[in-house]
């Protein structure tokens, strides 16, 4: 089988062992309604403008590159790669789409294929990429090195991406909204004082700090820690922090809990677009 180099230096075939020894994948036209979105899809939202542009292109010339699917148990097809094309095809009103049917098994291949396609076509947002790596790590037991091998990235790049998920929800929200870059956020990972990390993140976003300026602020804090005084803000309860993390994982977006006195407080849920807000709404009501 001929191979074509991609931006990552390897294609989907690199993830499927002994592909030359298996029967060739089947090409077919299948009903849009028979394709089920991949529940392991790492991308949780799509840029509406880019999706509209893709829909316009499909309306004009059709789908030039087939979607990749695999047979499901109930006669439908599970999407492996091509969710943007599937969504755009539905927006245009197509009844059928071209697909390549692969008979590979296993969610690991499906998820990794979907992740690689997203990285090749449209960069995942930093936190989406980190969440996808975390899923491979926890659901499939892969090491950082094994994940890096599958997506053609170094082990350290995967590790640095995963560290973003340890940041306070407020910092993750700034990254999600594009107020801070992944580089700014990674510079804050080593700070144990979450309140100070949020303070630095807010200043960096408001004043347009470079990554180096954030690193300098973190280094200065480490070298000159504040003295403990009775007036210092009390540490946040571990249970609240853990609840933030669980809610964030369930909703697929940063969540911040402000717990006040008398068992009252606020829950703040971040969203990056109207489409993302609708997705969160469906999590609550479906």
Q: How many angstroms separate the CA atoms of 109 and 70, rounded? A: 11
Residues 62 and 19 in one domain: yes
3-state secondary structure the chain: CCCCCCCCCCCHHHHCCCHHHCCCCEEEEEEHHHEECCCCCCCCCCCHHHHHHHHHHHHHHCCCCCEEEEECCCCCEEEEECHHHHHHHHHHCCCEEEEEECCCCCHHHHHHHHHHHHHHHCCCCHHHHHHHHHHHHHHHCCCHHHHHHHHCCCHHHHHHHHHHHHCCHHHHHHHHCCCCCHHHHHHCCCCCCHHHHHHHHHHHHHHCCCHHHHHHHHHHHHHCCCCCCCCCCCCCCHHHHHHHHHHHHHHCCCEEEEECCCCCEEEEECCCCHHHHHHHHHHHHC
Residues 47 and 106 in one domain: yes
Q: Is residue 229 part of a domain?
A: no
Q: Is residue 272 part of a domain?
A: yes
Residues 69 and 172 in one domain: no
Q: What residue has token string 């709404």?
A: 281
Q: How many angstroms separate the CA atoms of 8 and 160, rounded? A: 19
Residues 178 and 118 in one domain: no
Q: What is the pLDDT of residue 68?
A: 79
Q: Is residue 230 part of a domain?
A: no
Q: Is residue 256 part of a domain?
A: yes
Q: Is the dihedral of CA 141, 147, 149, 151 positive or negative?
A: positive
Tens digit of pLDDT per residue, the chain (286 long)?
Answer: 333 333 333 333 433 333 333 434 457 888 888 888 777 655 556 667 777 888 888 877 777 678 878 888 778 888 877 777 888 888 888 888 888 887 655 555 655 666 566 655 556 688 888 877 776 666 555 678 887 887 778 889 888 888 898 888 889 889 988 899 999 999 998 788 888 888 899 999 888 999 999 998 888 887 777 665 444 555 567 677 778 888 888 888 888 888 776 677 888 888 877 777 888 888 887 6
Here the CATH number for the domain that contains residue 25 is 3.90.1530.30
Which positions ≥6 away from 258 have C-beta within 8 Å? 265, 266, 267, 268
Q: How many angstroms separate the CA atoms of 187 and 263, rounded? A: 34
Q: Is residue 136 part of a domain?
A: no
Q: Supply the range of the domain harboring residue 259.
A: 238-285
Q: How many angstroms separate the CA atoms of 22 and 200, rounded? A: 54
How many domains are there within the chain?
Answer: 3
Residues 215 and 267 in one domain: no
Residues 83 and 186 in one domain: no
Q: How many angstroms separate the CA atoms of 171 and 173, rounded? A: 5
The count of residues in the chain is: 286
Residues 116 and 179 in one domain: no
Of 92, 123, 154, which marks where a domain is finished? 123
Residues 172 and 210 in one domain: yes
Q: What is the pLDDT of residue 183?
A: 92
Enumerate the active-site residues: 83
Residues 198 and 252 in one domain: no
Q: What is the pLDDT of residue 211?
A: 92
Report the first-to-last Cα separation within the chain, whole angstroms.
Answer: 44
Q: How many angstroms separate the CA atoms of 255 and 246, rounded? A: 9
């Amino acid at each position: 089988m001929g191979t074509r180099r991609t931006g990552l230096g390897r294609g989907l075939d690199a993830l499927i062992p002994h592909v030359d020894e298996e029967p060739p994948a089947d090409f077919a036209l299948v009903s849009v309604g028979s394709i089920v979105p991949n529940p392991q899809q790492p991308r949780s939202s799509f840029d509406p403008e880019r999706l509209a542009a893709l829909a316009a292109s499909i309306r004009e010339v059709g789908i030039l590159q087939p979607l990749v699917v695999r047979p499901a148990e109930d006669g439908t097809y599970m999407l492996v790669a091509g969710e943007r094309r599937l969504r755009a095809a539905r927006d245009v009103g197509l009844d059928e789409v071209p697909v390549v049917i692969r008979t590979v098994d296993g969610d690991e291949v499906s998820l990794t294929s979907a992740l690689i396609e997203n990285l090749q076509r449209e960069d995942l947002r930093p936190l989406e990429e980190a969440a996808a790596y975390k899923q491979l790590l926890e659901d499939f037991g892969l090491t950082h090195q094994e994940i890096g091998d599958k997506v053609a990235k170094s082990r350290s790049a995967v590790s640095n991406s995963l560290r973003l998920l340890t940041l306070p929800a407020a910092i993750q929200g700034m990254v999600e909204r594009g107020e801070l870059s992944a580089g700014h956020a990674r510079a804050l990972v080593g700070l144990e004082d979450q309140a100070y990390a949020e303070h630095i993140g807010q200043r960096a976003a408001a004043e347009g700090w470079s990554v180096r300026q954030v690193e300098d602020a973190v280094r200065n804090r480490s070298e000159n820690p504040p003295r403990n005084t009775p007036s210092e803000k009390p540490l946040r309860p571990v249970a609240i922090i853990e609840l933030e993390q669980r809610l964030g994982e369930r909703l697929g977006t940063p969540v911040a809990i402000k717990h006040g006195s008398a068992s009252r407080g606020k829950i703040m849920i971040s969203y990056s677009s109207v489409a993302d807000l609708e997705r969160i709404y469906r999590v609550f009501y479906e």
